[in-house]
Amino acid sequence: MSHGMMRFFMAGVLLGAVGCEARSDGDGTAAEQGNVACSDGLDNDQDGQIDCDDPSCSTARSACPSLDMGPGGGPGGGPGGGPGGGPTGNETGNALCSDGLDNDGDGFTDCADRHCTYNPAVTVCADAPGERTNDTCSNGVDDDGNGFVDCDDFSCSQNPWVSVCPGENTDALCRDGLDNDGNGFADCDDFGCSRNALVSACAEGEAGFCLDDVDNDGDGMTDCDDPDCAVAAACGGGPAPQRDGGMRPPVGDIPPLTGEFHETGDERCSNGVDDDGDGRVDCDDRHCTYNPNVTVCPGARENSDALCSDGVNQDGNDFTDCDDFSCSQNPWVTVCDSEASDVLCSDGIDNDGNRFVDCDDFGCSRSALVSVCRDDEAGFCLDGIDNDQDGDVDCADTDCAGASVCGAQPPADGGAPPADGGAPPADGGAPPADGGAPPADGGAPPADGGAPPGDSGVPPEDLPPPFDPAGFETGDALCANGVDDDGDGDVDCDDIHCLANPAVTVCDAPREAGDEACSNGMDDDQNGFMDCDDFACSRSPFVTVCGAQENSDRACSDGVDNDDSGHTDCDDFACSRNDFVGVCDDTEGGFCGDGWDNDGDGDVDCADSDCAEAGFCAQQ
């Protein structure tokens, strides 16, 4: 199955495959069903028909609508960003935006719903953004005073009622296979689509689109017939839940970050057990290291109001004060404008001014210290709150089975935390006996093979082998044979493994590939990013001049934050959205020659059914 190869490598050519999984037909082929599979440009079920030309996509009516889409991206495409230029069949219009109900089931009621505030025809919302029409989005003025002008403002660029901004902001634009806004990402790989509450083409559920007479998630059930819409008032649902799917406790009921409720304080940070069940013990737990009152954790730290405002890089990680995640994502620090605590992540306010609110902000949704955005209880097994809203609180929830306060015993090794990021089992597939020497034209890998720093704490035998080009579709021979050799769904010069290898000469697209191109001070692939600021450099294991990175299976399963981004292994986009990294995927496809059980299912390379279509395996 294809790994959307343009997820992070901007190679100067359009390579827009949607990086989401399709359902399997059970015979080794993927089904052509659902909005994602029906808009990815691939013949997933290999019946000779692609996307909306395939009758199997008849239920994916968001990806394959029968409506005549106007220039605004919605039915009619009304002029000036006015009525008719955006989505219909949702909670919009003055009547639905003032009835006190969550009509469409998206978790937002009336003027808290962007279907209301972004529609210029809605006049009942006093707090609607001042930039939401074609006129106000092209006048060169910051009409709503939020610091963003015209198309730099999300109320313009992510607004389906606005057509003057090049963007991915409608179902039509999010299923056309084009990088409409020129940011290197197409359709559901673009946050303008996948993180836009007004776009259904990338939705995995029907909630939020329960009035449009479309089977948005392609499961054969439309609107109120779909259980996803049970929360919608239009379908008889009750009061609106939070966007994350459950009624959260009032802000005042959220307990403070103290040793009573979390693994923090000198005593719990030195007892050798995982008290709160988050998989981290003592000073490997940020509840310990981010708390300035904890004194038992060694090393310099930047974790208090004083240390986060002194202009000094206290912890030596090249980030100072509020540019350091230990400040900006630290609930004990108040001097940084941030979304970093349960209170700030549930107040409905964009506290850090980055245009994302609460759980839509990575400062909330990707923080180990924030519970209100989680879908499990682990890590919050002491606070008396049903954090994941499954009806079970703390130790009554099976998610807390690993918490010492719930009776879990520390491991024999003293409680060393597991390698964060889903490392495969130690016996998941030995590397080739010959070490996987690359072919003559394969391009030499980095000198250290992508090995992690020596202080990773993970035994080398438990880590995947170093990056080896021999395991991928790369080199002039493989990049010109017309075959998808490694099973990632991309052939020859459409494969990033070819484009990223500086030794490959058969691909004529402009490229930023290799140490020389990544250190010459030029934007070689003309994508607006130069050298190590270009993901084609910083996330390529063929490049060594960009410092320590998370860009190989080995570096992405060692439990170390190699690139000092504040995210480790599969929590780092450099790993989870990188086509050179397989340990963060749940498929072997694309990694059918590396000698490793990338998806941890016990089958290695060609023994895995995911590799059935790989050229490497057809030769066996």
The predicted-structure confidence for 111-123, as pLDDT tens digits, reads as follows 888 888 888 888 9
Please report the pLDDT score of residue 433 as a whole number.
32
Phi/psi of residue 419, nearest 5 degrees: -65, 115
Please report the pLDDT score of residue 252 as a whole number.
47
Please report the pLDDT score of residue 250 as a whole number.
45
**Contacts of 528 by beta carbon, 8 Å cutoff, 6+ apart:** none
Average pLDDT over residues 223-230: 84
Average pLDDT over residues 57-63: 54
Please report the pLDDT score of residue 253 as a whole number.
57
Task: Give whole-number Cα distances, 458 to 115, 223, 559, 585, in Å.
Answer: 48, 49, 7, 20
- Asked if pLDDT for residue 378 goes beyond 50, the answer is yes
Give 189-199 pLDDT, tens digit per residue. 888 888 777 88
How would residue 465 be classed by pLDDT, with cut points 50, 70 and 90? confident
Residue position matching structure tokens 């100067």: 12
CA-CA distance, 579 to 559, in Å (whole number)? 20
3-class DSSP state of 30: strand
Average pLDDT over residues 92-110: 82
How would residue 34 be classed by pLDDT, with cut points 50, 70 and 90? low
Specify the long-range contacts of residues 479-484, CB closer than 8 Å, at least 24 apart: 479/504, 479/506, 479/507, 480/506, 481/615, 483/615, 483/618, 484/613, 484/614, 484/615
How would residue 29 be classed by pLDDT, with cut points 50, 70 and 90? low
Average pLDDT over residues 79-101: 63
Chain-wide mean pLDDT for the chain?
Answer: 73
Look up residue 217 and give its two tokens. Answer: 């998630």
Report the percent of the chain where pLDDT is more than 70. 75
Please report the pLDDT score of residue 311 as a whole number.
92
- Asked if pLDDT for residue 25 goes beyond 70, the answer is no
Pick the more confident residue, 24 or 145.
145
CA-CA distance, 177 to 180, in Å (whole number)? 9
- 146, 138 Cβ separation under 8 angstroms: no
Domain ranges in the chain are 12-241, 244-417, 420-620
How would residue 295 be classed by pLDDT, with cut points 50, 70 and 90? very high
Pick the more confident residue, 474 or 63.
474
Please report the pLDDT score of residue 77 as a whole number.
29
Pick the more confident residue, 32 or 132.
132
Average pLDDT over residues 307-330: 87
- Asked if pLDDT for residue 566 goes beyond 70, the answer is yes
How would residue 308 be classed by pLDDT, with cut points 50, 70 and 90? very high
**Which of 11-20, 46-55, 203-212, 572-581 has the weakest average pLDDT?**
11-20
Give 329-349 pLDDT, tens digit per residue. 888 888 888 888 888 887 778
Please report the pLDDT score of residue 85 as a whole number.
45
Give strand pairing partners of 30. Answer: 24
**Contacts of 284 by beta carbon, 8 Å cutoff, 6+ apart:** 417
**Secondary structure of 484-551 as H, E, C letters:** CCCCCCCCHHHCHHHHCCCCCCCCCCCCCCHHHHCCCCCCCCCCCCCHHHCHHHHCCCCCCCCCCCCC
**Which of 181-185, 324-328, 450-454 has the weakest average pLDDT?**
450-454
Average pLDDT over residues 310-333: 87
Average pLDDT over residues 582-604: 82
Please report the pLDDT score of residue 536 as a whole number.
86
How would residue 460 be classed by pLDDT, with cut points 50, 70 and 90? low
Please report the pLDDT score of residue 296 as a whole number.
92
- Asked if pLDDT for residue 59 goes beyond 60, the answer is no
Average pLDDT over residues 149-166: 85
Give 526-544 pLDDT, tens digit per residue. 777 888 888 889 889 899 8
- Asked if pLDDT for residue 312 goes beyond 70, the answer is yes
Report the percent of the chain where pLDDT is more than 90. 5
Please report the pLDDT score of residue 451 as a whole number.
33
**Secondary structure of 302-338 as H, E, C letters:** CCCCCCCCCCCCCCCCCCCHHHCHHHHCCCCCCCCCC
Please report the pLDDT score of residue 384 as a whole number.
80
pTM of the entire predicted model = 0.38
Give strand pairing partners of 69. Answer: 75
- Asked if pLDDT for residue 164 goes beyond 70, the answer is yes
Please report the pLDDT score of residue 438 as a whole number.
31
- 143, 136 Cβ separation under 8 angstroms: yes
CA 253 from centroid of its chain's CA atoms: 30
- Asked if pLDDT for residue 10 goes beyond 60, the answer is no
How would residue 87 be classed by pLDDT, with cut points 50, 70 and 90? low
How would residue 480 be classed by pLDDT, with cut points 50, 70 and 90? very high
Average pLDDT over residues 559-565: 85
- Asked if pLDDT for residue 448 goes beyond 50, the answer is no
Look up residue 537 and give its two tokens. Answer: 């450099």
- Asked if pLDDT for residue 130 goes beyond 60, the answer is yes
